[in-house]
Amino acid sequence: MVMYVVNLLFCVAILTLGIRAYKTTGSKGPLIVGIGFALFGISHLAYILGIAKVSPIDNILVGIRTGGYLAIIYALAGKY
């Protein structure tokens, strides 16, 4: 449980830094990375709240995490 809380805090920190970097530089890359980590944070929050144990929810969380990975890949590719 502690691991999910720590990961959620890191996700919130990265999202905050991504938004801040976007506001100061106008570059969409950090914002997209922040959004990717926000998606990971949703997954961690679901585990903390105990709703990830329901089978259909777990499948949805796989899709959310996949979206997070794809957002970060997109940001790192620099094609935005």
> b/e map of 2-14 (b: 16 or more CB within 10 Å)?
eebeebbeebbeb
pLDDT, residue 46, reads: 95
Domain that holds residue 61: 2-77
Neighbours of 37 (CB within 10 A): 22
Going residue by residue through the chain, which has 80 residues, state the pLDDT in tens, using 9 for 90 and above. 899 999 999 999 999 999 999 999 999 999 999 999 999 999 999 999 999 888 789 899 999 999 999 999 999 998 77
How much is the pLDDT for 3? Answer: 97
> pTM value?
0.91
Domain count, the chain: 1
